[in-house]
Structure formats: C-alpha cells, structure tokens
Chains A and B, each alone.
Chain A
C-alpha cells in the first residue's frame, strides 16, 4: 500500500450516516391473535399457550400453542396415518408436484413471509427478503425434482422412505430451516412433524396456509409449536427419524436419549469457524467477507466466521479496514431496508452474548465497538471485535452466536491450520488468498464440512451442508441431503 492509498484508506468517517428511514410496510402481514397447533391438516386448540414477540420492540405479536406431550403424540399419529394412507403410496412424480407448488407459493408470497420473518425474528428485511425467502423457495424447488428420481440419486440401491420424521429447528433462519427439513423429507416420501423454535414460530404457522393452498394431503406436514419440552416430547415419540438443528449441548442430549432406540438421527449443531486471511488476499474483499461472515444475521449463524485468523504481516491493515467498515454498519429497525444488523433474537440470547463478551474483557482481550445509537426498546448488541485474543479464552472456544468477532494471528500456513482446527467443532471455515494452490491445500487441511474460499456464508439447495466432529453428522442440501431420509435394502 502506498502512502497515498494509506491516507485515503483512513479518511475520516462521518460521525453518523444520515439515512432517511426506509421502513418496509407491515401491512402485508395479517396476524391472528392466536394460533393453534397444526395437526392432521386442522388447527387444534392448544391446552397451553404463550406469547411470541417482536424482539426489536418487545411488542407481543400473537398467542401460540405450547404443545404438550399428548399433543405432540397426536401430531405423530396424524403423520403416521397420512404416511400409511396415501403419501407413501403416492407416485414420486405427484409428490414432486406438491413440492413444486409449495416452492411457487413461497415465491408468490415471499414479501409477506419476509416481513413476518423480520418481525418475529429480528433479522434485517434485506436479509429475509434477499436470502431466507429465495433460498427457502429454491430448496423446495430443488428437492421437488428429486422426488421422482430417487433411483438415479442412488443407482443400484433400492430405497424406501423412513416413515415419520420428527424435525426440530432453530430460531436463526426459521423458514429456511423449515425448508431444509421438510423439502428432502417429503421428496423422499416421508411425512413430518416439525417443531419450530420457541421464539420464532410464526413463519412456520403461516407456512401451514401455504400447505392449504398447495392442497397437500392432511397430516403430511404437522407443526407443533412450543419450547424445549415440546421438542423433548417429539424426540421421545414414535417417530422413525429425528433431524435436529441447534446447539451442540441439546444435540448431545438427543443423541443420548435416542441411544439404543434405532431411531435415525441427523444433527446440525454449533460451530466456531475460523476465517483465515493470508497476506496475499484481496484485503478489501476479505474485509467484506469477514463482515458478512460474522455480522450476517447478527451472528446468529452456526457457521459464522467467529474466529478471525489474520496473517501477522497484514494484521494492522486488516484490523484498520475492519474497524472502519464497522462504523458504516447500520444497526436498528429490522424492517428498515437500510438496516445491516437487526435485533438480537431474544432476551436470553442477548444475556448469553453479554456474558461471553464480559468474559472476553475479563480474560484480557481488547474490545472494539463502533459508535452506535441503539433503539431504546428491544434486544440489541453492537457489532464487536475482540483483538489480543488467546486461543484459551472462552470467546475463542465457545460459540457466542452473536455479532462478536475474536481475532487471532498466525505466521505460517501450518500455524493457521493448527489454530483453525483447534476446536471440538468442525462446521465451516473460510480462507482468503489469491494463490490457487494454497486455497486447495487449505481446503484439504481444514477439518470442516463447508469451506468457503474467497467468499463466506453462501448457501444453496444443491450444496451439501453439515459438520465434522461435534458440529454434528449427516448432510442437508444436495444429493447428499436425501440419503438421511431413506432406508436402503
């Protein structure tokens, strides 16, 4: 970098970006006051309910069911009946058409879903509109095409659906995770009982209306809302498979619970991904990748690039550029089209982030947070960078699941690999370098299920996703995402 470039690069930053508010209208979403459980194609009045809120304002949005064990069992029975009386005998080509319909309906109603997703989850409308919704629809479209081609997916193997799949999804990408779960399960010929996350049930409940419009046979998809108790009941029920996305802690508990049962299991758990920046990387692009890696969706991403590994020779440049970029991030109203970082999903999650950030400061890391005005109500956390982080610090070991980046350094590729792999997790990793042979070598040596080279946080229905080690087992997406929903002779 020349002296001139350096000067330009560090040009003063305006104290505040003056953006006029650009709110997306809420009018497109019509919420009911109260939602039941969706069992056997009907809305069943729940015995217990709780209030789901908008995390950006703490305003209540609707009353939803807290499914009891009995109600979860009823949903599993409905799914079993639908499986045995029709769905499993239906030609693959007909299953496909239902899935194509769902994909199209999601595209048609995508703005409604995007707004609802931002309302109930706190994510910026920019992301729910441009990432969650297009990907959810694409996922159904992709797996629709597989439904009548299973014999080509698995040549020389006779496959059969499993039966009833119990699916438990997290709150970070509510509708997209629903699509990741339901699309391959139905394509393979199973019926499902899905439990959305406690804090983000609304898009799954609106999805039931898409099922109505698609005229999907009753009981093929059942949605039971509630907290972890409902999930535990689903794990203990008579399902043939559990697919879980969530924390490693809960994943281990589920694996323990299912020990000896013969119930099939796939787990997509936590991560603490290394994002490795070499000195020959295109640094401005890399900084965009770092920001996208950790501040996308408020860092509520299991594959977030939460450990930044920077080669020492470019450390100062990268940190300067990163801090400068952070000052331009707009934190605030999730429904504002200019917002980059929205609300933290829940009070509980905010407290977890605060606790881990406090531990980082106590252990001796240096904290940086850009000047930032946060809304008065709701749950918010300023995008944060920690430097001077040692590998032993909790912020370098534990998944924070928030907009908090821990920066470490390295000198040689070997050291980068050693540090990147020094974690019980193995979900994803990033590598930034202009040298092709180094990309391929790093991609080989990083022990993780997804490697993003000179990019980060890209997803696609055709691309298998899932972890090594304690980040879980089984793959979602692509041809490889079908196998976990089939039995082979």
Chain B
C-alpha cells in the first residue's frame, strides 16, 4: 500500500508566525486552498512590521547582509521544492543569486549613496541613507519567486520592514519563501507576506497611515487610485523592475539624512 502524503496548509506569514486569515477565508490558486487575507490581516501585518522596524534598522549593516545571505542559503537548501512552484530551476537560481547580490550591498549603501558635503563654513556636514520605514509591496504576478525576491530584497537590505502581498495567481512560491525566511534569522515582522486578492488588499495598504512607502511594481488594476490613496500621508510610490537587480532599486526605499556639526576649538 502506498503512503498517503501529508498535505500542507497554506497560511499567511505575519510577525514571524503562520496564522490563517482572521477572516477564515481561502481562495483556490494553483490547485490549492490559499489563505485569502483581509483588511485586518493587512493591518496586523503593518503593526508587526512597525514593531520590527527599529531593531532591524538599527542592526549593523554587516549583520543585515548576513541575514539576507542566510535567506539565500535557505532557498538553496530547498531548491527542488521552489523549482516546482515557479518557472523552474533557472528562476530559483536567479533568485538565490539575487539575494546574495543584495546581501553584499548592505554595508556599501552608505558609501555609494551617501556623501560628505563641503559647505562654505566651519561645519562638518555629511549625508547618509536611512530606511524609509514600513514598506508595502504588491508583488508581480510573475515570475512567482524571482518577482517577489526582486522587490523584497532591495527593500529590506536598507533596513525597511515590509508587508508583501503575494502574487495572486501564483502564491505558493511566496508561502514557500515565508517558510525559508522563518528559518533564516530574519527577525519576526521584518518580512510579512499576505496572500489574497490584490484588488481587495492593495487599497488598504495604499491608504494606511503607518505605511511609509508602497511599491506598485506588481500592481494590477487601478494604480492611479492607489497613488491617490498614497497621498494621504505623502507615501513614497515606488515603481521598479519586476525581475532585475540594481542599486537604484534600493535607493527609492531610502531617505537621506544630512547632519551638521560646527567645527571649532
């Protein structure tokens, strides 16, 4: 008699835990019942992200880089599982390599994006990049894994905490990624992943007063309406590359802080 496999329950990833949607709803995607996150789930995720943000932002860049690298290690260890949930091994390898690439950026951002400014007076003046805060990410529908990684990695490497809405049609790779993240030393709440309907979730995140930036790279539907909602608290609206890597994918999630101090005896 052949063994009956144990099936997985596909859940949300909020604050380092795997709850079902508080709404009790699911929807069918890729042949599975996936949690259909609600407005309340999105708000819980924002709270978790806000709570995790200060520590993550204050961590040394070297440490953050190692955490991202550790995520790459965890995906590498689950290569075949991930390959089944996206377009195949090539996409998995691309995603791993992208994480490693971004991991190396953590302790270079300030040197590449910051500056020492020669002001006309007896002042020491410098500019450093800092994370924007809590970032909402609407993941691209495809590629299922590389699309999510391409948006999440540049947001978190600079110290932001994020709430990502997974690909609506291909959410399984995102849930698998959540499981890798949970074992990769990413502090709980730094990355939160909600599965569900974009149309339902995106407006709440776009209008949320405690979200500092929204990445609409993967947004489908009425992006203009999301941008209007974003204006309520002067959110940064980010449009990036769905499947590419660049330092300029990181900078839209950063603020620049300039510090002055007199020079004297």
Contacts and interface: CB of A to CB of B under 8 A. Distances in A.
Interface of A: 138, 157, 248, 251-253, 255-256, 258-261, 267, 269, 424, 439, 443-444, 448-455, 458, 460, 462-466, 468-473, 475, 478-480, 488
B141 interface: no
Contacts of A479: 115
Interface string B125-136: 101000011000
A38 B233 CA distance: 35
B255 A464 contact: no
A252 B231 contact: yes
B99 interface: no
B234 interface: yes
A463 B234 contact: no
B212 interface: yes
B121 A255 contact: no
18 contacts: A138-B120, A157-B248, A251-B234, A252-B231, A259-B225, A449-B255, A449-B256, A449-B257, A452-B260, A453-B260, A458-B123, A463-B125, A463-B127, A463-B260, A464-B115, A470-B234, A478-B127, A478-B258
B138 interface: no
Nearest to A460: B119
B223 interface: yes
Contacts of B125: 460, 462-463
B261 A464 contact: no
A370 B231 CA distance: 41
Given A255-B230, A255-B231, A454-B262, A480 B256 contact: yes
Contact of A469 (B58, B123, B233): B233
Nearest to B116: A462
A460 B256 contact: no
Contacts of A260: 223-225, 227-228
Given A462-B117, A464-B117, A267 B258 contact: no
B234 A267 contact: yes
A451 B260 contact: yes
Contacts of B127: 463-464, 478, 480
Contacts of A255: 227, 230-231, 234
Contacts of A248: 234
Q: Assign chain B's interface to a size class.
A: 20 to 34
Contact of B121 (A253, A267, A458): A458
Interface string B245-265: 000100000011111111000
Contact of B236 (A258, A444, A473, A478): A473
A269 B259 CA distance: 19
For the complex of A and B, the 5 pairs showing the least CB-CB separation, nearest first, are A260-B224, A259-B227, A255-B231, A460-B119, A259-B228
A30 B85 CA distance: 75
Contact of A488 (B118, B121, B248): B248
Contacts of A473: 234, 236
Given A138-B120, A460-B125, A469-B234, A448 B260 contact: no
A471 B260 CA distance: 19
Given A451-B258, A460-B120, A475-B256, 15 more contacts: A259-B226, A260-B225, A424-B233, A443-B259, A444-B58, A451-B257, A455-B261, A458-B123, A460-B121, A462-B117, A463-B117, A463-B119, A464-B115, A471-B234, A478-B258
User: Which among B225, B232, B259 has the greatest number of chain A C-beta atoms within 10 A?
Assistant: B259
B117 A478 contact: yes
B234 A472 contact: yes
Nearest to B212: A469
A439 B261 contact: yes
A242 B115 CA distance: 26
